[in-house]
Amino acid sequence: MVETITASRLRERIDTGESFTLLDTRPEESYEAWHIRDALQYTYDPDSEFDAGEFRSRTGLTPDDEIVTICAKGISSFDIAKQLQDTGYENVTVVEDGMEGWSEVYDVVEIPTASDVEIVQFQRRAKGCLSYLIGDPASSLAAVVDPTRHVERVAAAASDRDYSIEFVFDTHVHADHVSGGRELADHVGATYYLGADAADRGVAYDYRPLERNEVVAVGDHDIKTVPSPGHTSEIVSYLVDDEAVLTGDTLFVDSVGRTELQFGNSDADAGAKLLYESLHRTLLAEPDSVTVLPGHFSIGADGTTDVTPGEPVSTTIGQVRTELELLNVDRETFVRQLTAALPEKPPNYERIIDINVGRDAADEAATTELELGPNNCAATGD
Residue pair 143/167 in contact (Cβ under 8 Å)? The answer is yes
Determine the Cα–Cα distance for residues 48 and 230; give it in Å rounded to an integer. 51
Active-site residue flag, 129: no
Residue 65 CA, chain-centre distance (Å), reads 33
Point out the catalytic residue in the list 7, 10, 71, 218: 71
Burial of 301 (0-12, 13-18, 19+ CB in 10 A): middle
Q: DSSP assignment, residue 318?
A: H
Q: Where are the beta strands (DSSP E) in the chain?
A: 3-5, 21-24, 40-41, 67-70, 92-95, 106-111, 118-124, 129-136, 141-145, 164-169, 191-195, 208-210, 215-218, 221-227, 236-240, 244-248, 256-257, 291-294, 315-316, 378-379
CA atoms within 13 A of residue 153's CA, in its CB half-sphere:
21
Q: Which of 150, 34, 151, 157 is nearest to 98 (CA)?
A: 34
CA atoms within 13 A of residue 248's CA, in its CB half-sphere:
37
Q: Which are the catalytic amino acids?
A: 71
